């Protein structure tokens, strides 16, 4: 998507969300909350600018999604709202896969839940269920663990589901009316898409979270709510539900990941009912991004670090560069489109640079065998290209360079002495993880451009490389910091 279209899309979505006629149902629609410019996040918006608009095709899709949404309310499963005693602090996190059911350490908050209990704080962890396993079965396992945590349900009983259906149907009808009032074709299509996504499963889930959290907060009456914070609509539902019960509740959003140049939804304020009181970040760099944004007018931004960063390095150690081979690590995120683009780019580069070895590292969510089955070309690689079977740390140790795009791996790679190469795509807004850096990294537009840098680095001394990477090292060293547990605990109590 071109930046001009991206900016107009943001403006249209924000006008809807900030309009005086916006309701809770409006805020609940995930489609209106544009996270950032990553192509994976923008795919669902392309139809807005895809002229001429195919009205017949849209009507068929709209009737389909509306019908499916209607049928989903007739599961007739029982739902019992959890009955809870007063709880001081509630943490809201995510169950990403079934393996995490047995994990004591949370993927996002580490051992914060246990640490709070050791401090005498009555805390509860609530998880959004991203697995295919039923919530009731997961909660039964949690009860056996006596872990003081549970996952939310994906169905709230016919009565509640019917209420959600009516709210979103009315919102969808409102957008249909607005669409038919527009003379501008882009605005007309935009409102039609709003009507469509009002009936999406994610919109129903967002309001479902609101209703379930409302019941939990009325029962538990917490004084502190701590959730992950990336700009999603469900996060705003959590804060609103908490403030309906207690206007003085302390809502804390924890931003645990990287930020893109055009990060939007998390940095956009929606008002005191929907914005957190505090935004905690994983490091100083993302804290500075938030502090210069609109939402900082409604909340305090603090850098508290992340539990996955165990220690902070004072400087790049010489021995990290002494034993590196002529290896280039290729580290895409878990999206197949990104994997294909980066691996194909690396293979083309490898054919030009026969003296450089390329290590293809897959995201944990992607299986090598499944990738080769679906894309057989990766089963027959050039001699200087191989898949990694090592740990990330081991790959860092043996590599001099890294090909990256939107992965946070590039930040950790710089700390291990690797020179980062951002792979640029034609006619695409940059999704460069290290967009604020002007030194050390290189931007590649074609497979022919890396050769000169490879050769130059092989002829440089270690002291020259360390000197050249100094600014980048300091930047990445501040991006993700070791967790300041005392500060985290103080705010969460």
Query: Given this model, what pLDDT does residue 79 score?
Result: 86
The 3 state secondary structure assigned to 212-275 is HHHHHHHHHCCCEEEEECCCCHHHHHHHHHHHHHCCCCEEEEEECCCCCCCCCHHHCCCCCCCC
The CATH label, of 3.20.20.70, 3.30.1330.10, 3.40.50.2000, 3.40.50.970, for the domain at 319-479 is 3.40.50.2000
| 71-106 CB burial, b ≥16 within 10 A, e <16 | eebeeeeebebeebeebbbbbbbbbeeeebbeeeeb
| Domain residue extents for the chain | 3-76+157-276, 89-151, 319-479
User: For position 78, what pLDDT does the model report?
Assistant: 85
> What is the C-alpha separation between 245 and 220, in angstroms, rounded?
10
Residue 248 phi/psi, 5° resolution?
-95, 5
User: What sign for the dihedral angle of Cα 2, 433, 13, 166?
Assistant: positive
- The dihedral of CA 25, 29, 35, 36: what is its sign? negative
Q: What angle do CA 411, 283, 301 make, to 5 degrees?
A: 145
Q: State the Cα torsion 248-285-27-124 to the nearest 10°.
A: -50
Indicate if the alpha-carbon torsion angle 196, 201, 202, 203 is positive or negative.
positive
Q: For each of the chain's 493 residues, which pLDDT tens digit applies?
A: 889 999 999 999 999 999 999 999 999 999 999 999 998 899 999 999 988 889 999 999 999 999 999 999 998 888 888 888 999 999 999 998 888 999 989 999 999 999 999 999 999 999 999 999 999 899 989 988 877 999 999 999 999 999 999 999 999 999 999 999 999 999 999 999 999 999 999 999 999 999 999 999 999 999 999 999 999 999 999 999 999 999 999 999 999 999 999 999 999 999 999 999 999 999 999 999 999 999 999 999 999 999 999 888 888 888 788 878 899 999 999 899 999 999 999 999 999 999 999 999 998 878 999 999 999 999 999 999 999 999 999 999 999 999 999 999 999 999 999 999 999 999 899 999 999 999 999 999 999 999 999 999 999 999 999 999 999 999 999 999 999 999 999 998 8
Q: 404 forms bridges with which residues in the sheet?
A: 422
């Amino acid at each position: 998507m071109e930046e001009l279209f991206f900016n107009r899309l943001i403006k249209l979505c924000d006008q809807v969300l900030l309009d005086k006629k916006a309701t809770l149902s409006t805020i609940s629609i995930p489609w209106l909350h544009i996270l950032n410019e990553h192509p994976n996040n923008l795919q669902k918006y392309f139809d807005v600018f895809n002229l001429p608009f195919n009205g017949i095709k849209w009507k068929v899709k709209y009737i389909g999604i509306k019908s499916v949404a209607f049928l989903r309310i007739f599961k007739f499963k029982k739902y019992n709202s959890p009955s809870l005693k007063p709880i001081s602090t509630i943490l809201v996190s995510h169950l990403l896969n079934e393996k995490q059911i047995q994990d004591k350490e949370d993927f996002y908050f580490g051992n914060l839940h246990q640490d709070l209990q050791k401090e005498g704080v009555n805390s509860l962890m609530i998880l959004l269920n991203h697995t295919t396993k039923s919530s009731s079965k997961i909660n039964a396992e949690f009860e056996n663990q006596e872990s003081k945590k549970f996952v939310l349900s994906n169905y709230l009983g016919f009565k509640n589901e019917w209420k959600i259906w009516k709210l979103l149907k009315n919102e969808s009808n409102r957008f249909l009316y607005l669409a038919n009032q527009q003379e501008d074709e882009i605005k007309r299509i935009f409102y039609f898409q709003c009507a469509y996504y009002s009936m999406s499963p994610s919109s129903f889930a967002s309001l479902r979270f609101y209703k379930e959290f409302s019941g939990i907060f009325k029962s538990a009456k917490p004084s502190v709510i701590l959730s992950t914070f990336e700009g999603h609509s469900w996060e705003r539902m959590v804060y609103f539900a908490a403030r309906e019960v207690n206007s003085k509740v302390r809502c804390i959003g924890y931003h645990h990941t990287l930020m893109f140049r055009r990060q939007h939804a998390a940095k956009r304020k929606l008002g005191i009912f929907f914005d957190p009181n505090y935004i905690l970040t994983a490091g100083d760099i993302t804290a500075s991004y938030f502090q210069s944004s609109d939402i900082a007018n409604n909340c305090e931004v603090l850098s508290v670090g992340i539990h996955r960063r165990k220690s902070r390095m004072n400087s790049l150690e010489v021995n990290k560069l002494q034993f590196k081979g002529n290896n280039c690590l290729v580290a895409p995120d878990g999206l197949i489109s990104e994997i294909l683009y980066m691996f194909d780019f690396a293979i083309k580069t490898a054919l030009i640079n026969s003296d450089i070895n390329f290590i293809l590292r897959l995201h944990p969510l992607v299986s090598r065998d499944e990738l080769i089955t679906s894309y057989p070309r990766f089963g027959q690689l050039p001699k200087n290209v191989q898949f990694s079977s090592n740990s990330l740390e081991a790959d860092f140790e043996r590599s001099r360079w890294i090909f990256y795009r939107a992965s946070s791996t590039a930040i950790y790679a710089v700390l291990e002495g690797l020179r980062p190469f951002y792979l640029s795509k034609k006619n695409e807004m940059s999704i460069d993880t290290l967009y604020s850096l002007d030194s050390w990294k290189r931007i590649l537009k074609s497979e022919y451009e890396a050769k000169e840098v490879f050769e130059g680095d092989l002829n440089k001394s270690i002291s020259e490389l360390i000197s050249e990477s100094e600014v980048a090292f300091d930047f990445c060293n501040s991006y993700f910091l070791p967790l300041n547990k005392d500060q985290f605990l103080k705010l969460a109590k």
